[in-house]
Amino acid sequence: MNTSQNPTAAVIIIGNEILSGRTRDANLAFLGKRCDELGIRLQHARVIEDDQDVIVETVNHCRAHYHYVFTTGGIGPTHDDITTAAVALAFGVKVDRNPEAVAIMDKYYAPGMLNEARLKMADIPVGATLIQNPVSGAPGFQLGNVFVFPGVPSIMQAMFEGMVNLLIGGKPMLTVSIRTNLAEGVFAEKLTAVQHQFADVSIGSYPIFRMGKPGVNLVMRSTEADAIEKVSLAITEMIRDLQGAILNPDE
Amino acid sequence: MNTSQNPTAAVIIIGNEILSGRTRDANLAFLGKRCDELGIRLQHARVIEDDQDVIVETVNHCRAHYHYVFTTGGIGPTHDDITTAAVALAFGVKVDRNPEAVAIMDKYYAPGMLNEARLKMADIPVGATLIQNPVSGAPGFQLGNVFVFPGVPSIMQAMFEGMVNLLIGGKPMLTVSIRTNLAEGVFAEKLTAVQHQFADVSIGSYPIFRMGKPGVNLVMRSTEADAIEKVSLAITEMIRDLQGAILNPDE
């Protein structure tokens, strides 16, 4: 793929509730799509427990290996929200009550409602830049190449859209998908030949069982629209040669 | 939490389609729930690209740090299915056509349909034990403490249930959830006190916005039912003291 020039990113999903299966993460899929559009290669994700040492180690690993790191979860007012302190520790900086964050939250909450527990959310690592929260007041923050978001998807996503101009991407990743009724085993050999012929387009083959009917999505990814177009034609031809059908994506 | 005796597990989700956001993973939530029931502590998950070096490195890291490792994705017949070869490489063993796997697939496919591409799915690392696939024939495998599954959730989950007796767990993790209309900032301080009083129960606080109505799920986790019962009473009392309501989980 010709995306080796694009900046890379990793996502760190912080929260026992994801690992226990109680909550199904929705932020990774959102960030994956947005990174594609922004020309950032989302290369890696980790789901980790609410554990200070693990957060510190994971943040330090990821910020050294990827251009951008997005964390989700653990920045609320309760005892299990330990992400802010752990990220500060990872960078070797202190956490301080941030006057700008206090002012934002003071405006958000009704008089008398901004208690000490909520003010904990205004404790921000020294040197960090705030990420505005248009939904529920309490900000996230950026420290170096690490962007710290809450876990609630609607809030996380609104905050991401508000800071997205800070990210410098490359060429957007384009994706085109063709759905067929053929089984993978029927076209695998020919598809390998197509992939070899067009090395600058990444071709993925994903079987899907929908309402008992098997099908396969063939997904082409590249930053070059004309390269995808060529592969698309080659795959369409391959499916016809094998007497297969091209299905509507919703079939 | 009193689960330090329980064996640990990590999940490796292999596939560009998860990182691109095209496919939303469903296997982690399944494995998280099942591990809780089995008394296995699912501690860590990684989502990685279809890249041989990355798979090798991730498998070797995880199998050294966790009792059980479950991988999903990348064991089909197409060119982008490279998990089997990479896992073999991680263990320093060869991949060989496995006669037992060939026999299984020969039974599954109609005469003449078991072509070379499909037979690729009978290439299994030397020394591995097959994991039966009751849905679509082609087996997964176990090598050391690593269990290799396909990515399609219905198949992955059926295969897991077929081999689950091989896993040795500890005490099942019990979870009880209380939903309240109170905001986190209102009860955070008192909840911290409850957590300090009952250190052997892990208490998580998860704000949820459903149909515009905010609420919080307070989730208690422990292997001891009576310990959870005590915390449940303390949290119920805390909510009443604060003039809050306990909501139906579906409210």
> CATH no. for residue B21?
3.40.980.10
Q: Are residues A108 and A158 in the same domain?
A: yes
Q: Are residues A162 and A202 in the same domain?
A: no
Of A29, A185, A221, nearest to B115 by CB-CB distance is: A185
Q: Are residues A136 and A203 in the same domain?
A: no
Of A42, A188, A206, nearest to B117 by CB-CB distance is: A188
CB contact under 8 Å between A185 and B117, yes or no, is yes
**Residue A211, pLDDT score:** 67
In a domain, A3, yes or no: no
CB contact under 8 Å between A205 and B78, yes or no, is yes
Condensed to tens digits (0 to 9), the pLDDT of residues A167-176 reads 999 999 999 9
In a domain, A2, yes or no: no
Contact B183, B214 (CB under 8 A): yes
In chain B, residues with a C-beta closer than 8 Å to the C-beta of A34 are 21
Testing the interface with B: which of A78, A121, A197 to mutate, by most B Cβ within 10 A?
Answer: A78
Q: Are residues A39 and A152 in the same domain?
A: yes
Query: Rounded mean pLDDT of chain B?
Result: 95
Q: Are residues A161 and A180 in the same domain?
A: no
CB contact under 8 Å between A22 and B32, yes or no, is yes
Nearest alpha-carbon partner for B131 in B117, B150, B118: B150
In a domain, A239, yes or no: yes
Q: Which of B166, B184, B201 is the last residue of a domain?
A: B166
In chain B, residues with a C-beta closer than 8 Å to the C-beta of A207 are 76, 152
Chain A touched by B59 (CB under 8 Å):
no
**Three-state secondary structure call for residue A2:** coil
Chain A touched by B79 (CB under 8 Å):
yes
Q: Are residues B18 and B107 in the same domain?
A: yes
Q: Are residues A156 and A178 in the same domain?
A: no
Structural domain for B211, as ranges: 174-247
CB contact under 8 Å between B192 and A32, yes or no, is no
Per-10-residue mean pLDDT of chain A, 251 residues long, equals 77 97 96 98 98 98 98 97 98 98 96 95 98 96 98 97 97 96 96 96 90 85 97 98 89 59
Q: Are residues B35 and B92 in the same domain?
A: yes
Statement: residue B236 has pLDDT above 80: yes
In chain B, residues with a C-beta closer than 8 Å to the C-beta of A202 are 16
Q: Which of A166, A182, A212 is the last residue of a domain?
A: A166
How far away is chain A from the Cα of B143, in angstroms, using its nearest Cα?
A: 23
Mean pLDDT of B170-196: 96
How far away is chain A from the Cα of B154, in angstroms, using its nearest Cα?
A: 8
Of A47, A152, A191, nearest to B209 by CB-CB distance is: A152
Chain A touched by B158 (CB under 8 Å):
no
CB contact under 8 Å between B21 and A32, yes or no, is yes
**Residue A1, pLDDT score:** 44
**Residue A8, pLDDT score:** 98
Cα separation, A70 vs B182, in Å, equals 29
What is the domain count for chain A?
Answer: 2
Q: Are residues A66 and A84 in the same domain?
A: yes
In chain B, residues with a C-beta closer than 8 Å to the C-beta of A44 are 19, 46-49
Contact A65, B65 (CB under 8 A): no
Testing the interface with A: which of B47, B198, B202, B216 to mutate, by most A Cβ within 10 A?
Answer: B47
Q: Are residues B96 and B190 in the same domain?
A: no
Nearest alpha-carbon partner for A230 in A216, A218, A241, A220: A220
Condensed to tens digits (0 to 9), the pLDDT of residues B37-70 reads 999 999 999 999 999 999 999 999 999 999 999 9
pLDDT band at B214 (very low <50, low <70, confident <90, very high): confident
The DSSP-derived string for B26-89 is -HHHHHHHHHHHHT-EEEEEEEE-S-HHHHHHHHHHHHHH-SEEEEES--SSSTT--HHHHHHH
In chain A, residues with a C-beta closer than 8 Å to the C-beta of B49 are 43-44
In a domain, B2, yes or no: no
Q: Which amino acid is at B121?
A: M
Nearest alpha-carbon partner for B232 in B184, B185, B175: B175
Chain B touched by A197 (CB under 8 Å):
no
Cα separation, B37 vs B169, in Å, equals 9
Chain B touched by A173 (CB under 8 Å):
yes
Whether the complex's predicted ipTM surpasses the cut of 0.90: yes
DSSP A109: S
Q: Are residues B148 and B178 in the same domain?
A: no
Q: Are residues A209 and A238 in the same domain?
A: yes
Chain A touched by B23 (CB under 8 Å):
yes
CB contact under 8 Å between A117 and B188, yes or no, is yes
**Residue B1, pLDDT score:** 44
In a domain, A188, yes or no: yes
Q: Which of B120, B144, B166 is the last residue of a domain?
A: B166
Cα separation, B85 vs A208, in Å, equals 23
CB contact under 8 Å between A33 and B20, yes or no, is yes
- For the question of whether the overall pTM of this predicted structure is more than 0.90, the answer is yes
In a domain, A223, yes or no: yes
Statement: residue B2 has pLDDT above 80: no
Nearest alpha-carbon partner for B28 in A47, A62, A49, A204: A47
Testing the interface with B: which of A14, A23, A79, A218 to mutate, by most B Cβ within 10 A?
Answer: A79
